[in-house]
Amino acid sequence: MIEISRLTKRFAQHTVVDDLSFSVRPGEVLGFLGPNGAGKSTTMKMLTGFLAPSSGTATIHGFDIQTHTLQAQRLIGYLPEGAPCYGDMRVRAFLEFIAEVRGYRGAEKRERVARVVAQLELEGVREQSIETLSKGFKRRVGVAQAILHDPRVLILDEPTDGLDPNQKYQVRELIGQLAKERIVIISTHILEEVSALCSRALVIANGRLLADDTPFELERRSRYHQAVTLVGDSPLDREALAALPGVAGVEDNPLEHSVTVLAQPGQVIFPQVNALIAAHGWRIRELDVERGRLDEVFRSLTRGEAA
């Protein structure tokens, strides 16, 4: 378990992380979400022992990261922002070096390196220098070094930043597999990452905790929760839609003959909308019910902090 209590970091007169407290249990994938400059990376660095807090504590499975640093760090796999590696080293040599730093020798070292090379599909670039790799492969090498020692806690700072859709999918699949028996914390500003990977999300801005909930519950805060979007073959009667019970309003969409019908808080309006479609005989090409829009909730939560 990870316990963070009143964690604070100041640089001169500027407070980057402000009295932050939360806990994470094994099996959870925690999305650490916030705009650029929110304090995400600084929190990760304090949690991993690379940066001392101004005040507060962080413990990893009972080991305080300040007073029992090595014991805590042995339990952590860490992918820093940008996945920095030694660019002049070849992939295999770099992973062998990391294995030796972790205390592995001989057959165990070779087995662990071979395992992560296979997991991250690095066989084709094993003898290539890291500086010549694409951004996607560099990111995979970074993830490989983070999981080489089979850590109980995996902390990933922007793990898919800059990857193409196929590479993102591969890394997300791997994280999903790794999360089954571990604590995984993913720091990101990419909203789709949270919906795709995380069982829980923290939203921070200016170093302060603004929300702590599941992605689904955060989406429920959106004014688009239970909204119904219609795309028709001809103009739709906005007034008739707006007059339906439980409807909060109707928005036009950029597509021709497309509207989004907003639900009042706590209301389900799909049956009424569907009945109106049937009554008018509208020809509808698309009909979608929304869970909510995480980007809208994120902007709503962080707008005041950013200002």
Q: What is the overall mean pLDDT for the chain? A: 91
Highest mean pLDDT among 195-204, 219-228, 292-301 belongs to 219-228
Position 67 scores a pLDDT of 94
Do 127 and 254 belong to one domain?
no
Domain finish residue from 219, 235, 270: 219
Do 35 and 57 belong to one domain?
yes
In this prediction, residues 58-67 reach a mean pLDDT of 95
Domain finish residue from 204, 219, 234: 219
Position 307 scores a pLDDT of 36
pLDDT per residue as tens digits for the range 159-211: 887 778 887 888 888 888 888 878 999 988 778 888 888 999 999 999 999 99
Q: What is the CATH number of the domain that holds 108?
A: 3.40.50.300
Do 211 and 232 belong to one domain?
no
The rounded distance, in Å, linking the Cα atoms of 42 and 205 is 12
Q: Is residue 69 part of a domain?
A: yes
Q: What is the CATH number of the domain that holds 251?
A: 3.30.70.100
Do 6 and 70 belong to one domain?
yes
Percent of the chain at pLDDT > 90 equals: 70
Position 175 scores a pLDDT of 84
Give the confidence band of 306 by pLDDT, cuts at 50, 70, 90.
very low
One-letter amino acid for residue 12 of the chain: A
Do 232 and 189 belong to one domain?
no
- Domain limits at 230? 226-290
Give the confidence band of 304 by pLDDT, cuts at 50, 70, 90.
low
Do 215 and 286 belong to one domain?
no
Residue 305 has pLDDT above 60, yes or no: no
Q: Is residue 295 part of a domain?
A: no
Q: Is residue 116 part of a domain?
A: yes
Do 188 and 236 belong to one domain?
no
Residue 84 has pLDDT above 80, yes or no: no
In this prediction, residues 214-220 reach a mean pLDDT of 93
pLDDT per residue as tens digits for the range 11-47: 988 999 999 999 999 889 999 988 888 898 899 899 9
Q: Is residue 103 part of a domain?
A: yes
What region does 35 belong to: left with phi over 0, alpha with psi -120 to 50, or beta? Answer: beta
Q: Is residue 301 part of a domain?
A: no
Do 256 and 157 belong to one domain?
no
More confident residue, 164 or 297: 297
pLDDT per residue as tens digits for the range 246-268: 999 999 998 889 999 999 999 99
Do 132 and 204 belong to one domain?
yes
Do 214 and 266 belong to one domain?
no
Per-position b or e across 159-197, b if 16+ CB within 10 A of its CB: bbbebeeebbebbbebbeebbeebbbbbbbbbbebbbbb
Do 98 and 128 belong to one domain?
yes
Do 13 and 153 belong to one domain?
yes
Domain finish residue from 176, 197, 219: 219
Q: Is residue 95 part of a domain?
A: yes
Q: Is residue 263 part of a domain?
A: yes
Position 10 scores a pLDDT of 95
Instruction: State pTM to two decimals.
Output: 0.84
Q: Is residue 178 part of a domain?
A: yes
* Count: domains in the chain: 2
